[in-house]
Structure formats: C-alpha cells, structure tokens
Structure 1
Amino acid sequence: MAKPPIDWAAYLAAFHAHRPGITERVLQRTLSGGHTPYRWLARAVSPRAHRVVDVACGTGAMGRELARPDRTVIGVSLSTDELRLARRKTPGPWLCADARALPLADGSVDAVVSMMGAIVVQPVEEFFAEVGRVLRPGGMFAFMAPTVVPLHPRDLATSLGVVARLRSLPRFPGPTEITGYVPALVGTGLRKVEDARERYHFAVRTAQDAVDVVDALYLPLTTAERRERAVAWLVERTERDEDVRISIAMRRFVALKQGTSPEATPPA
C-alpha cells in the first residue's frame, strides 16, 4: 500500500515550532579538524562582502559566524519560533519571509548563504532564481547540504544502528546526493565555481546528546516509539563505549553571479 504524500510545509512548521534551535545545537558540535559546517560555509564568503543574506537562518548561527564590524547579515526564515530565538542572541536584522520571494531589491546584496536551505526550499529552481535576482554582479551564493560521499563504510555503523531502530531514513523535501544543482542554475545568472565535500563527526556522550541527534533528523513518517528506541540504543552505546561518533558528510556548493565586480573573489 502506497504511503500518503508528505505535507512538507506543515511538517517543517511543526518541526521548528516544537524543536527551535535543534539544528544549531547539533551542528555547533559537529566537527572536522576543529571547525563546524558553519565555519566552512563562512569561509566561502569574501571579507569584502558587506551585505549578506542568510536564507533558512534558523536561530542565526551563520549570522554570528559571519559577523564583522563593517558587515550586515540579514537572516531570513519562515519560522517565527526560530526567529524568536535568533532575536534573543543577536539584533539582526531578521526577516520572516519565503526564500522564493525575498523582500529585497534586485542586485542589492553582496552574498547569499544557506545552511540546508537548498534541500528544504522547494522547488529549488525558484529559490536559486530569487538568489540570482537579489545578488549584485560578481556576488556569491554559497550553501551546504548533507550528502553521503565521502563517508567510509566504517563511518556508517552507528548511523545504520540508529536507522534500524527508526525503521526509516531521514528525509528532506528536496534531493541531496543525486542532484548536481547545476541544472537548477540555468537562467538564474549564477555559475558554479565549487562543489566540495567534507566529513564531520558528532560525539554522543550523554543521554541529552542522544536525544538531540535524533530530534535534529527530519523523520516525517517515523513514530515517537521508534524515536525513543533509537535514543535508548544510543544511550546504551554511550554507557558501554563512553564516546559514540555519528559521522555526517556535508557538501559546500558555491556559485557566482555573472558580471564584473572588483569584490568578487574565489572561496577559501
């Protein structure tokens, strides 16, 4: 029997209402060589970018990573619950808006960044077209999305144990590994300059860590009972092994707005 289609708009609204800040709590402790995915994404942005838009900003982790005295970072999210937490941490500016209809003028920003937005905002072609509209010529668009490569089979043991208890894989509104994103750039004025990947690791040391890592997953078809089984299994592993590692592969995709500008620089 076919499963009913997922109402992603309703699911995402409920997810962020019930768990505001959960993505930041996990990603801030997800490390590779001592840096987080937020730090890697921030390195793609030129230091000469003065007006930056952070799409699907959550509670503002990217904005804080990008903060400079001469820079304004505008956080954009549809979730009022996430934005409420963001406002408690930094003054913003923050916009409650759809990424496919940004309340910004044409060619008015130097860079756009997004952690996970490319797999959440759908259709991605509309999102990319809007990014191309608001970027100035030579401006940069950089986003990150989860992937599979370059994980090794040994990295997957713990994740597969979690999935076995959930009886489902995490799901997203948009595709991850199978898309090259390049076709979605057609007609946007954006040109790919980088598609890189990195392995990150989250250390599960406490029961709260186990709860957080399961709560951070998009599991629209998974019951509460299965979530509890996955958490209990992780807690049991930490009690036995003390430090359990969840491995996550992330992909950094960077594009430039076609045109000329003295401020356009390649990502680091």
Structure 2
Amino acid sequence: MKKGFDWGAYLAAFHAARPGITEEVLSRTLSGGHTSYRWLARAVSPRAQVVVDLACGSGAMGRELALADRTVLGVDLAESELRLADARGDGPFICADALNLPLADASVDAVVSSMGAVVIQPARALFTEVGRVLKPGGIFAFTAPTVLPLHPRDFATSLGVVTRLRSLPRFPGPTEVTGYVDALVGTGLRKVEDARERYHFEVSSPEDAELIVGALYLPTTSQKRRDAAVNWLVDRTIKEGPVRISIAMRRFVVLKQPVATRDAEL
C-alpha cells in the first residue's frame, strides 16, 4: 500500500457502488445462530435511552438495538448507505463526520460501531469525540475483525482465498487492541472489555462467493485476482459442497469514567 493512499475516496466509492453489502454479509455470518450485530448490541444496557451508531451503514445495528423507549441515531458519511438505512428502519439517520458529531457534550448514553473503528481514523480523534458526547458512565462498544481465535483448520480456506487474491483485506486503522491502547490515553475513557468470538459465513453458490469477495476492502487487488478467488470458492463448492469461511471478531468496550481524569486506566 502506497504511503498517502486516499482511503476516504476509496471508501466513498466502495459504498456508493455496493450499498448494503456489509450488512448482507454480516447478517449471514453466524455464531450459535446469532450475528455479531446481536453480540455488539448485548454490550449496551437496556437502560440506555439515547444511542449513537457510528458508521451505521444500512442500519443493521439500529434495528438490533431498537427498543420502544430508545432513540438510536445512525451516523454515516455514505449517502447511499443512509438511503438504505432510512428505507429499512426508523432512524433517525444523519450524514455526518464521526470525528465532528453535531451533538452536545455529555448528551448520549452509549455509542456503538460495527466495523467502524477500523475505518474512522485517527483512533485518538475518534475516542476523543466519543468521550465528548458520552455521558459520564456511558460506554463505547465496537466490533472489528481480528485473527484470533480462528482454529488452524479455518486458515485453509482463508489461505486459499488470499493466495488467489495475492493480497490481504486492508483497513485504514488497526484491528488489534494494541492499536487502540495509546489512543485512549487522555480521552477520559477506560477499557472494560476485550472479547473475541468466531463467526462463520457459508458459501454454497456462485452468488455467495461473489458476495463474500465483493465485501472485502481490496484497494490494490485487480478484478482478475478477485475473479480467481471467486472461481476457486465456486470450484470447492462443486467438489465438496458448502464451504465455510470463518471470521474472527473482537468486541471492545470502553467506559467514560464518572470522574474526569487525564489518563485512561488500561
């Protein structure tokens, strides 16, 4: 990846061309019959009445978090995603920068983000802005892809895909906890959880193979290489039946400390 790569332009073009694709994949990526959206929602107290969903995409988290007496505000920069979100859920939804939220200080009970923390950068600015809008005692919970706890047998399929892509999926930001530790310092936020779970997406048709490969951020990968990965998955389903792709996820939760402090307790 070249230094100075324009991630903003890439992400805008990606989601304009494929609105809803992230939800389409994650809604079918399961662990024990549940999605990572459900797992993330469980980190939010039922008493939280105002919740902000950063990088909300097509609104899957908002629908997961919906309660009769709760407001879930979806925030995203991609207007194509927000149009889908508005059609699928109650909102409200706003097109805004997660690093400059149009919200008052200490005005929300919780902030969540499914996959957003790996694209909203820099991390320190994200944590600072989240800390600003959270009420004392409020939480910021987000999920991000990771490596562990994949089983060694899970790597065989992933390796086959990556070998044909000749590149790994990429993100603007870190996906491991070490990438966030330093960013918490001085924000008034304290880590309270770093949990991991393994999810599975089943490829049983050419359409499934196109979907999972198409959902990956691959800014330096040619269409020829993408087609090679899709064809390899399709060939495996023909020979072996449905192919399971395992995806490890992290759920990271931080708390806005009730008493103001300059350094987060890590």
TM-score (norm 2): 0.95
Aligned residues between the structures: 259
Matches within 5 A, 1:28-39: 28-39=27-38
Q: Secondary structure at the match of 1:153?
A: coil
Match of 1:263 in 2: none
What is the CA–CA distance in structure 2 between the aligned matches of 1:77 and 1:47, rounded to whole Å?
Answer: 24
Judge conservation of contact 2:54–2:98 (CA < 8 Å) in 1.
yes
Matches within 5 A, 1:68-107: 68-107=67-106
Match of 2:118 in 1: 119
Paired amino acid for 1:128: F
**Given the alignment of the two structures, is residue 41 of structure 1 paired with residue 51 of structure 2, yes or no?**
no
What is the CA–CA distance in structure 1 between the aligned matches of 2:215 and 2:3, rounded to whole Å?
Answer: 23
Paired amino acid for 1:10: A
Please, which runs of 5 or more residues in structure 1 have no aligned partner?
261-268
TM-score (norm 1): 0.94
Judge conservation of contact 1:45–1:140 (CA < 8 Å) in 2.
yes
What is the CA–CA distance in structure 2 between the aligned matches of 1:132 and 1:211, rounded to whole Å?
Answer: 39
CA RMSD of superposed structures (Å)? 1.2
Match of 1:9 in 2: 8
Same amino acid, percent of matched pairs: 73
Q: 1:95-142, CA deviations, whole angstroms, 9 ceiling, x for partnerless residues?
A: 100110001000000000001111100101101100000000111110
Judge conservation of contact 1:55–1:117 (CA < 8 Å) in 2.
yes
- TM superposition shift of 1:185: 1.1
Q: Secondary structure at the match of 1:194?
A: strand
Paired amino acid for 2:184: L
- TM superposition shift of 1:206: 1.1
Matches within 5 A, 1:64-213: 64-177=63-176, 179-213=178-212
What is the CA–CA distance in structure 2 between the aligned matches of 1:49 and 1:169, rounded to whole Å?
Answer: 37
What is the CA–CA distance in structure 2 between the aligned matches of 1:257 and 1:177, rounded to whole Å?
Answer: 21
- TM superposition shift of 1:34: 1.1
Judge conservation of contact 2:174–2:180 (CA < 8 Å) in 1.
no
Judge conservation of contact 2:120–2:126 (CA < 8 Å) in 1.
yes
Q: Describe the shift of the 1:15–1:28 C-alpha distance in structure 2 as closer, same or farther (beyond 3 A).
A: same
Matches within 5 A, 1:237-256: 237-256=236-255
